[in-house]
């Protein structure tokens, strides 16, 4: 906040996608910090459970069921937040959905829904929040993106499109808001998170899905977001895989994408069969989920996994660097 008088008041925080996973963990983190919370998602009963936990932690909490793909619902969320708290200090735009499957085998309406939720939904959030920030003269808008904002994910084409688009949107928004030093747009790029979204997502592969270790505890992401409320910065990466993926893609996008596609084909060929499902794309999941996805193993060793990730990156770089040499040798033989 720009002045000490305002800083002495409890923060007012809006969190979309707050019914489980990172959103719930972030709501509880801000509740412990004494914030006044406005939490939103499609699932009203799940939101009420989260609000109850936040109230037990000593926070005031307002539940506003909201579908972020609907601009009028997001505008109503902003109005109710202003009525409840008198202003909005932090808006955490956290909604994210996905579908795994070959692009041509995933229904087109599923692709469209991913773009609506992951990109248009965040734009709707910003469209509601930014005018309030400008009137106040301060505010922090937190975009939950993912390592998918830095490198494409084969077999999740619409998800990749939404995250690449969201990164570009946020960068453009920061440029527009540069003359306003107390208004910040903060992007958060976690690696794979052990949240219910893994199980809740759409799956058109016919195979059981998981995520590669080391999986991040959603509470770690929440602590980062809480820290951004005090020390905002444009880009925050969480987990070594994000940095490795970003570097590998920057050096050789084609090689890194082909390696990822190869990994996905190998994984899907060996994974057990599973039903095809649209997951939580079009309606809230039947299982409310909570914070944890249940995929983390107590025996995981982050250091070993980081070393494997480094080897994968090195292999990608070797592949990328070897191709020009092969082409040169072919030319020399002619």
Longest dimension (CA), the chain: 77
Report yes or no: 3 and 70 within 8 Å, Cβ to Cβ.
no
pTM comes to 0.87
- Alpha-carbon distances, residue 231 vs 59, 177, 228 (angstroms): 22, 17, 5
Q: List per-residue pLDDT tens for the chain, 334 residues long.
A: 554 445 568 999 999 999 999 999 999 999 999 999 999 999 999 999 999 999 999 999 999 999 999 999 999 999 999 999 999 999 999 999 999 999 999 999 999 999 999 999 999 999 999 999 999 999 999 999 998 999 889 999 999 999 999 999 999 999 999 999 999 999 999 999 999 988 999 999 999 988 878 899 999 999 999 999 999 999 999 998 888 888 888 888 888 788 888 888 888 889 999 999 999 999 998 887 799 998 886 544 444 344 344 434 444 444 444 444 444 444 444 4
Ordered domains of the chain (ranges, CATH): 8-333 (3.40.50.720)
Q: Report which of 127, 251, 255, 267 is spatially closest to residue 185, judged by C-alpha positions.
A: 127
- Give the helix ranges, DSSP H, for 57-156: 71-85, 108-115, 121-136
What lies within 8 Å, CB to CB, of 136 at 6+ separation is: 87, 88
Question: Residue 306: CA atoms inside 13 Å, Cβ hemisphere, count?
Answer: 8
Query: Which pLDDT value is given to residue 179?
Result: 98
Encoded tokens for 44: 């009203």
**Pairing assessment for the beta strands 90-93 and 139-144 based on DSSP bridges:** parallel
159 is catalytic: yes
Which pLDDT does position 321 carry in this prediction? 42
Identified catalytic residue from 159, 189, 204, 267: 159
């Amino acid at each position: 906040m720009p002045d000490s008088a305002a800083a002495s008041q409890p923060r007012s925080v809006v969190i979309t996608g707050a019914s489980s996973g990172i959103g719930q963990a972030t709501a509880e983190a801000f509740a412990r910090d004494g914030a006044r919370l406005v939490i939103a998602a499609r699932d009203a009963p799940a939101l009420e459970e989260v609000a109850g936990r936040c109230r037990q932690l000593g926070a005031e909490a307002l539940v506003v069921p909201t579908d972020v793909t609907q601009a009028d619902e997001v505008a109503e969320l902003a109005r109710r937040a202003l009525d409840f708290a008198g202003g909005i200090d932090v808006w955490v735009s956290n909604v994210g959905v996905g579908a795994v499957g070959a692009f041509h085998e995933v229904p087109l309406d599923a692709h469209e829904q991913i773009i609506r939720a992951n990109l248009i939904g965040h734009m709707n959030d910003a469209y509601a929040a930014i005018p309030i920030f400008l009137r106040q003269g301060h505010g922090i808008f937190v975009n939950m993106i993912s390592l998918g904002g830095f490198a494409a994910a084969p077999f999740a084409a619409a998800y990749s499109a939404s995250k690449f688009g969201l990164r570009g949107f946020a960068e453009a928004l920061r440029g527009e808001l540069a003359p306003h030093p107390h208004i910040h747009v903060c992007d958060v790029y976690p690696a794979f998170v052990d949240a219910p979204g893994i199980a809740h997502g759409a799956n058109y592969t016919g195979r059981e899905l998981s995520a590669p270790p080391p999986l991040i505890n959603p509470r770690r992401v929440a602590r980062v977001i809480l820290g951004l409320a005090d020390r905002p910065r444009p880009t925050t990466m969480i987990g070594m895989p994000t940095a490795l993926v970003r570097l590998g893609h920057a050096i050789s996008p084609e090689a890194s994408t082909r390696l990822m596609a190869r990994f996905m084909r190998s994984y899907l060929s060996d994974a057990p069969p599973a039903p095809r499902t649209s997951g939580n794309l079009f309606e809230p999941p039947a299982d409310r989920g909570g914070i944890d996805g249940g995929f983390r193993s107590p025996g995981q060793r982050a250091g070993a996994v980081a070393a494997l990730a480094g080897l994968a990156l090195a292999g990608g770089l070797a592949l990328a660097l070897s191709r020009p040499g092969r082409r040169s040798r072919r030319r020399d033989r002619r």
